[in-house]
């Protein structure tokens, strides 16, 4: 039933598309007929004046406007010029071409303006630079035509001296107009560019909502490529987690609530990526995977989960401890502060190395991370014992910050566990 409805929708869309194209084709056909009738009737009935012995259309603006509209509709200056050439080849009752060179020149101008509609339409919804190119193209043509509208007679005389049939003269007029216009504008391109930049200045870049960059549903049919793209997203998670981990001690050092809030907000990016990766891997897992790809997908899922837990631990367990630290203007004892920095440095190193081991598929580095785990456990025990020794001596700073001190230590220990798990996953020891 669903397929039938879908096919019906597709057929309806195709029908409307075909109808639209038919209507547009009919419009263009009748507009061309109007174009031919307009100029053929003007040849018989429009008043002509003589300028330096050349018959010139008394109202060239009419030719310019009709040609501009026609070219804009069919989006082809070549087609408009071809129609003009066809009219020029037709001989009227007086033995002269229906369209003279002087009457064709405004048509050439209009074709040059009308063709700018193609660039203008193409620039819709594109970058700022693309819009500038379209605007520059339009201004170049329009300004050039305005100048040359006062030079119809000189252009007519120059082209007549070049000789040839009427069709050759129209083609030559088109070429001369564009070449001369380009040469005239060439020395002013720098200033023209400045003008365009003033009309369309740089926009303040809008901060796009954070989202996955590499996950694409159409890749799920090629599991190998899709898994590699998933890894790229997890590498992004690792980079964010490393940044959060590196700045834990800095948050206590600065005592800056805004800095802490920014760090906590970084975790939302990890959450967004993990929430997108989980169903994506499930979609890939729904395909028939070979054993290697199935194991790889499981490894990616586990590492994604570890980064989610790492981010949550930093954002929800460690960093909120700074609130009391800042509000009450507390300070760790010199010994306690030194020990926290020492322990954090070891943990942060493991987080960085685990992330690099995964990103670069470096088994040796991953193994180093796992082998450092026992030493870190021993260090934590030593530092905890030293903290309780200071606490038993009744030191004020130690007493005031004991809960915070142990909270930070415990949080760092869990962060290190997640980093070690990532290293184990990279080694295939899940």
Per residue in 217-236, pLDDT (tens digit) is 766 567 888 899 999 999 99
Give the other-Cβ count within 10 Å of 353's Cβ. Answer: 20
* pTM tops 0.85: no
3-state secondary structure of 370: helix
| Span 242-271, pLDDT tens digits | 999 999 999 999 999 999 999 999 999 999
| Span 185-197, pLDDT tens digits | 888 888 888 898 8
| Span 36-79, pLDDT tens digits | 444 444 444 443 333 333 333 446 788 888 888 888 888 778 88
Which range is least confidently modeled, 50-54, 64-68, 100-104, 285-289? 50-54
- For 106-112, what is the mean pLDDT? 87
CA angle 130, 135, 140 (to 5 degrees): 130
What average pLDDT does the structure give for the chain?
81
- Highest mean pLDDT: which range of 144-153, 168-177, 216-225, 420-429: 420-429
Catalogue all structural domains in the chain, each as residue range(s) with its CATH number: 2-199 (no CATH), 217-426 (1.20.58.220)
- 115 contact partners, CB below 8 Å, separation of at least 6: 71, 75, 76, 77, 141
- For 397-424, what is the mean pLDDT? 91
Give the tokens for residue 344.
């954090």
Give the tokens for residue 268.
């939302």
Give the tokens for residue 12.
């309806």
Could you give the CA distance from residue 235 to residue 150 in angstroms, rounded to a whole number?
64
Check whether 126 has a pLDDT greater than 60: yes
| Span 354-391, pLDDT tens digits | 999 999 999 999 999 999 999 999 999 999 998 888 88
Q: Note the Cα 343 to chain centre separation in Å.
A: 42
């Amino acid at each position: 039933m669903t397929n039938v409805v879908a096919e019906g929708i597709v057929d309806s869309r195709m029908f409307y598309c075909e109808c639209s194209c038919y209507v547009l084709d009919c419009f263009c056909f009748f507009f061309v007929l109007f174009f031919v009738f307009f100029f053929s009737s003007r040849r018989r009935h429009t008043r002509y004046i003589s300028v330096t012995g050349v018959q010139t259309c008394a109202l060239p603006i009419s030719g310019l406007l009709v040609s501009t509209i026609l070219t804009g509709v069919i989006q082809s200056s070549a087609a408009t010029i071809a129609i003009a050439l066809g009219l020029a080849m037709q001989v009227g009752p007086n033995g002269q071409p229906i369209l003279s060179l002087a009457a064709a020149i405004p048509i050439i101008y209009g074709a040059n303006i009308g063709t700018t509609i193609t660039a203008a339409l193409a620039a819709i919804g594109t970058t700022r630079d693309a819009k500038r190119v379209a605007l520059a193209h339009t201004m170049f043509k329009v300004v050039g035509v305005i100048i040359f509208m006062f030079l119809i007679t000189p252009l007519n005389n120059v082209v007549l001296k070049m000789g040839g049939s009427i069709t050759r003269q129209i083609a030559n007029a088109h070429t001369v107009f564009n070449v001369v216009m380009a040469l005239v504008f060439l020395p002013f391109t720098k200033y023209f560019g400045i003008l365009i930049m003033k009309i369309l200045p740089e926009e303040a870049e809008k901060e796009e909502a954070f989202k996955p960059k590499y996950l694409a549903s159409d890749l799920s049919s090629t599991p190998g490529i899709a898994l590699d793209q998933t890894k790229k997203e997890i590498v992004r998670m690792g980079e964010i987690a490393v940044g959060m981990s590196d700045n834990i001690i800095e948050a206590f050092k600065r005592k800056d609530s805004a800095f802490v809030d920014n760090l906590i907000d970084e975790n939302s990016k990890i959450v967004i990526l993990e929430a997108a990766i989980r169903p994506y891997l499930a979609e890939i897992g729904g395909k028939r995977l070979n054993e290697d790809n199935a194991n790889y997908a499981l490894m990616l899922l586990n590492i994604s989960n570890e980064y989610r837990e790492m981010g949550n631990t930093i954002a929800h367990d460690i960093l909120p401890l700074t609130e009391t630290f800042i509000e009450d203007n507390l300070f760790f004892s010199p010994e306690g502060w030194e020990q926290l920095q020492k322990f954090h440095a070891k943990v942060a190193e493991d987080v960085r190395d685990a992330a690099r081991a995964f990103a670069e598929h470096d088994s040796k580095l991953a193994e180093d991370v796992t082998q450092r785990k026992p030493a870190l456990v021993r260090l934590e025990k030593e530092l905890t014992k030293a903290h309780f020794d200071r606490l038993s001596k009744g030191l004020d700073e130690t007493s005031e910050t004991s809960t915070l001190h142990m909270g930070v230590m415990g949080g760092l220990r869990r962060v290190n566990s997640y980093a070690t798990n990532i290293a184990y996953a990279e080694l295939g020891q899940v």
